A and B are shown apart, each in its own frame.
Chain A
Amino acid sequence: MFQLSSTPIIPPLMECARAGGFVTFEGRVRDHAEGRAVERLTYEAYPEMAIAEGTRLLEEAKEKFGLLDSRVIHRVGTLEIGEVAVWIGVAAAHRREAFAACEWIIDQLKHRVPIWKHEIFSEGAGVWVGAESVPLEFGLLTQRQELLDEIGPEGQAKLRNARVLLVGVGGLGSASLPYLVGAGVGTLGLVDPDQVELTNLHRQVIYSANETGRLKVDRAAAAASRLNPSVRVETHALEVDGSNVDRLVSGYDVVIDGTDSLEVKFLLNAACRRHQKPLITASIHRFEGHLMTVLPDGPCLRCLFPTQPHDGCVGTCAQVGVLGVVPGLFGVLQALEAIKVITDFSDVLTEDMLLFDLKSLQSLKVKRSLRDGCEGCAGIHHPLNLQVSDPVGVVIDIRELDETPQLLISHIRLPLSRFAWQGWTEPVTFICASGQRSGNLAANLREQGHSQVYSLKGGVERLNSCF
């Protein structure tokens, strides 16, 4: 018998005259996970499916180990440290089968049953962990999308491996979230310090009226897990600022800006430049909005707005009003851009800004380009033409020793696998095959205080094609 319980578990008395071995197991909430202090845990289940899958699991155990009785009670809701989260009891003719079955059941349960836990860390962040591999039928979740030639199994695998950071789960973020999760994005990071308010609900439709006063990141994580139990959601209940933006951005593959703060938008733009991460940014105003995608080598927000505007100069939704559909549409378009970026579509809004007025239904794509002297791009867009005017300094090829072709300019070869900073006089330019590894290395070194380290955009392929 497989049960879910929202109250503390009272272990049932098991009786069976034919059984000589009774084994019980208690899984309890421990005070740490992944090296971090845990304050408490929340379990949420997809009840119908959890009970169906749990019952199936116990039937398999009965068959496999010849069990005479087996019971599982799993807690749902919020649990404090030390509370029993899961209780398992099995009875078999002999102890050996009983021990083996009990262990098998807990392993399988964690693996298969759609119950996910939300670990809340002492510093306020949290992580939602679903079943490690969800029941087979969840493969169907993205089946219609995999039928598209542009996605296919390959694109689906990219989505599954992708880590997307959603900054803000308000109007824009809460609209992109369901489509990212539905598309099978493997890991979502959610950043928002706010709680759900009634005035949010006309546009932030993933929340419900009975969730007011609760943290948006937690309720958004629960909504994500309900939709696709295999998603991993990392929650960051905090305001993005200069002290945390690098840590947040560097941990993800794609960043979606759904904030209503100009200051945060420019912080994200700068951090995405430093860490070579794509940024999908949108902003809305009453009935209209705009959207653009900033790729590591494309024009950035700062290329467009050289002077950073300050919050308050143009009004927020709270001040000027907004129709719920407007952030809804732009959030969905942001999810679309993210899916395109992850699965390598070529037609992404990287050199355009899309302006869309939903009142008149007029849209306009405006061409953007890199701006010489852009502070946001400084040091990131190192000119390709290495041998002439640019101060490239020491050139270091960080490809592994078996990688070809040979670099055609004078350089030092120091494979990334054995890389250590060797006190070179800056500037230093790193080169790899495509510019990806060298970009990451330069970004990391900048974080460590090396201000004049560069990466050659396009890598050896681009450079050698110039000769």
Chain B
Amino acid sequence: MKVTVRYFAVLRDRRGLDAETVECPEMTSSQFASYLIELHQLGLPPSLVRVAVNSSFVSDDHVLGDGDEVVLIPPVAGG
């Protein structure tokens, strides 16, 4: 299946992209975050990254579907 990923903050910097389309097998939101973090060496523990699907934050066991828009949100500290 295909999903669109949007990166925020430090993940955007480290990936060097705002968004991309990813081809992947069916998996949960947390598996997907771990997969991308590992694949692109994004340098954050997956447990710190929140995943939103189609504009709602989802739990770790949420299963992604074809065509979903996934947003990866890391902690942000600046003030």
Contact = CB atoms under 8 A, between A and B. Distances in A.
A296 to B, nearest CB: 20
Interface stretch (B20-28, B32-40, B51-59): B51-59
Nearest to A326: B78
Given A288-B9, A355-B8, A364 B71 contact: yes
Contacts of B56: 366-367, 369
A314 B76 contact: yes
Contacts of A311: 77
B78 A307 contact: no
Nearest to A284: B78
B10 A315 contact: yes
A314 B10 contact: yes
B73 A289 contact: no
B41 interface: no
Given A315-B10, A360-B18, A366-B71, A283 B55 contact: no
Contact of A170 (B47, B71, B79): B79
A283 B9 CA distance: 10
Nearest to A330: B79
A364 B57 CA distance: 12
A283 B8 contact: no
A227 to B, nearest CB: 22
A19 to B, nearest CB: 60
Interface string B63-79: 00000000101111111
A368 B58 CA distance: 8
A81 B69 CA distance: 65
Interface in A349-388: 353, 355, 357, 360, 364-369, 371
Per DSSP, chain B at the interface is mixed
B44 A283 contact: no
Contacts, number: 105
A167 to B, nearest CB: 9
A366 B51 CA distance: 10
B46 to A, nearest CB: 10
Contacts of A364: 6, 55, 71
B51 to A, nearest CB: 10
A355 B52 CA distance: 12
Given A314-B9, A368-B57, A285 B78 contact: yes
A317 B44 contact: no
Given A285-B10, A355-B8, A309 B79 contact: no
A259 B79 contact: yes
Most interface-central of A168, A257, A259, A367 (chain B CB within 10 A) = A367
A182 to B, nearest CB: 21
B62 interface: no
Contacts of A304: 50, 57
Interface residues of A, number: 45
A265 B59 CA distance: 22
B70 to A, nearest CB: 11
B52 to A, nearest CB: 4
Given A284-B79, A309-B75, A360-B18, A366 B57 contact: yes
B47 A289 contact: no
B30 to A, nearest CB: 11
Interface string A154-172: 0000000000000010111
A257 B76 CA distance: 13
B48 A316 contact: no
A264 to B, nearest CB: 9
B9 to A, nearest CB: 4
A265 B78 CA distance: 11
Nearest to A171: B79
Contacts of B75: 262, 283, 305, 309, 313-314
Contacts of B6: 364
Interface string A288-309: 1110000000000000111101
Contacts of B79: 168, 170-173, 257-261, 282-284, 317, 327
B73 A366 contact: yes
A286 interface: yes
Given A288-B8, A304-B57, A368-B57, 7 more contacts: A170-B79, A286-B9, A286-B13, A305-B48, A313-B48, A353-B73, A355-B71
21 contacts: A168-B79, A260-B77, A260-B78, A285-B10, A286-B9, A304-B57, A306-B47, A307-B48, A309-B75, A314-B44, A314-B74, A315-B77, A317-B78, A320-B10, A353-B57, A355-B71, A357-B18, A364-B71, A366-B52, A367-B55, A367-B56
